[in-house]
Structure 1
Amino acid sequence: MDGLYALKPWYTQRLRIFLERAENQGTSPDFFTAVGIFGAAAAGVSIAAGWWPLAVLWLGVRLAGANLDGAVARARKVCRPWGFALNEIGDRASDLLMFAGLAVWAASQGGPGMNWLSWPVIWVLAAALAATLPTFASLAAAGAGATRRNGGPFGKTERCLAVIVAAAAPAAIPVVGAMIIVGSVLTAALRLAAAHRELATAAA
């Protein structure tokens, strides 16, 4: 169950012009990691202000950066362990920036001023915490020698889409938050189950 992650090869193909230019010019993959973080930061600011159409654009930049860093590293044959670490840090930072923007937007929905103890804010914070579970599951499994798994059913792309929906329809924040929580727990469980099968087979 790869979810929208199954569209990654298609999206990479759409970014082919940037990939080829980076390969020809010797651009560092780390540049695209930084681009992804910048896109997430800009998206967070846009979401906090309620400018969800602009956030769609910036989250597209975020996903493009996250896609291209690995693609450029493979194309230039400069994959390295530290690049893997930077990629993970970039993805986690990008998620935090995106959810921070949504938390600000949620806090502004209760009338004048910022209501940080409102239920919408609590839902956003709970969703942000749950969103870390799939990555924890993948990294724990990879540390044990299993494949580092990505994708869905509720991965990075689904989180971006869910946050856009919540920003566009603030009344739906509790529903979207619950969906992120359930989807993230399910994704983590499926990744751990797949890793368990892989490791058990390898040990047999």
Structure 2
Amino acid sequence: MPSIYQLKPAFQGLLRPFVRALARAGATANQVTVAAVLIAFAVGAALLACPRREVLLLLPLALFLRMALNAIDGMLAREHGQMSKLGAVLNELGDVVADVAMYLPLALHPEFPAVPVVLVAVCAVVVEMTGVVGVQIGASRRYDGPFGKSDRAFAFAALGLLLGLLLGLGVPGGAWIGWLLWLLLAASLWTVVNRARQALAEVAGKEGAA
């Protein structure tokens, strides 16, 4: 199923010279992972502290930076001999903690309906844990779409940019924000089902070939 995650190799290619420079400077994958989580908490705190519409423009900037850091930590780990069990734990937990820290505060922001925001944030955790469960049953870590981590980041970045610009110009929000969030929730639930199905199919294929 198509997902923005499929663009990751091209994105990594653009970042590779910078990653090499970081490795030469002594930066570690775990440091980068923790930095991405701290950025998410900082943005979440800003969303809580500031009800002004302009603060929503932090979302596209922070989410792009976070996705870059997530790609960088993986490249440092794989390509520069920094893979570790601690890193694997930080990577998986960091993703879901950062998602919750950045998206959940939107439930208290005046432009967003609380219920769908909370449900999307909770479902984001379920989506990523479903991908991890694949490993437990003998499949690979599943990244199937249509609404994985990268897709969520793109959707919320676009929403933050759109609302920050339109509302900053005096264009009012409306029910469409809620309807869009419900669509994102439906896409998240579809992703949970798709990842579980693909993991089971992968295991069945291995058993059939054995």
For the criterion TM > 0.5, the same-fold answer is: yes
Structure 2 counterpart of 1:114 = none
Report the alpha carbon displacement of residue 191 of structure 1 after superposing the two structures with TM: 1.1
Using the alignment, how far apart are the partners of 2:158 and 2:67 within structure 1?
17
Report the alpha carbon displacement of residue 56 of structure 1 after superposing the two structures with TM: 1.2
The residue type paired with residue 5 of structure 1 is Y
Contact 2:130/2:196, CA 8 A, preserved across alignment: yes
- The answer as to 2:35 corresponding to 1:35 is yes
Q: Which of 177, 180, 197 is the aligned partner of 2:181?
A: 177
The residue type paired with residue 87 of structure 2 is G
Report the alpha carbon displacement of residue 88 of structure 1 after superposing the two structures with TM: 0.7
The residue type paired with residue 122 of structure 1 is V
Report the alpha carbon displacement of residue 185 of structure 1 after superposing the two structures with TM: 1.1
The residue type paired with residue 135 of structure 2 is A
Report the alpha carbon displacement of residue 144 of structure 1 after superposing the two structures with TM: 1.2
The residue type paired with residue 97 of structure 2 is A
* SS at structure 2 position matched to 1:153: coil
Q: Which of 69, 72, 80 is the aligned partner of 1:65?
A: 69
Structure 2 alignment gaps of length 5 or more: 164-172
Higher relative contact order (CA 8 A, sep 6+): 2
The residue type paired with residue 25 of structure 1 is A
Deviations 1:114-156 (A, max 9, x none): xxxxx81011111111222221211111111110012521111
Structure 2 counterpart of 1:162 = 155
Structure 2 counterpart of 1:191 = 195
Report the alpha carbon displacement of residue 27 of structure 1 after superposing the two structures with TM: 1.6
Report the alpha carbon displacement of residue 195 of structure 1 after superposing the two structures with TM: 0.9
Contact 2:59/2:156, CA 8 A, preserved across alignment: no
- Equivalent residues in 2 for 1:1-204, closer than 5 Å: 1-48=1-48, 49=50, 50=53, 51-105=55-109, 108-109=110-111, 120-167=113-160, 168-169=162-163, 170-171=173-174, 172-204=176-208
Contact 1:42/1:58, CA 8 A, preserved across alignment: no
Report the alpha carbon displacement of residue 175 of structure 1 after superposing the two structures with TM: 1.8
Using the alignment, how far apart are the partners of 1:136 and 1:147 within structure 2?
13
Percent of residue pairs bearing the same amino acid type: 28
The residue type paired with residue 130 of structure 2 is A
Structure 2 CA distance for partners of 1:151 and 1:98, relative to 1, 3 Å:
farther
